[in-house]
Amino acid sequence: MLFAADKGDINTIIGGIAPDWGPFGSLGNEAKVMIEVIMAVAILLCLGIAVWGAAKQRIGATALRDTFSAEQGKGLIIAGLTGVFIIGSLGTLFTIVYGMAV
Q: What pLDDT, in 10s, does the model give residues 11-58?
A: 655 555 555 666 666 667 777 778 788 888 888 999 999 999 988 888
Average pLDDT value for residue range 66-94: 84
Task: State the pLDDT at residue 30.
Answer: 78
Q: Is the pLDDT reported for residue 68 higher than 70?
A: yes
Task: Provide long-range contacts, Cβ within 8 A and 24+ apart, for 52-56.
Answer: 52/76, 52/80, 53/77, 53/78, 53/79, 53/80
Average pLDDT, the chain: 76
What is the amino acid identity at position 14? I
Task: State the pLDDT at residue 79.
Answer: 92
What is the amino acid identity at position 7? K
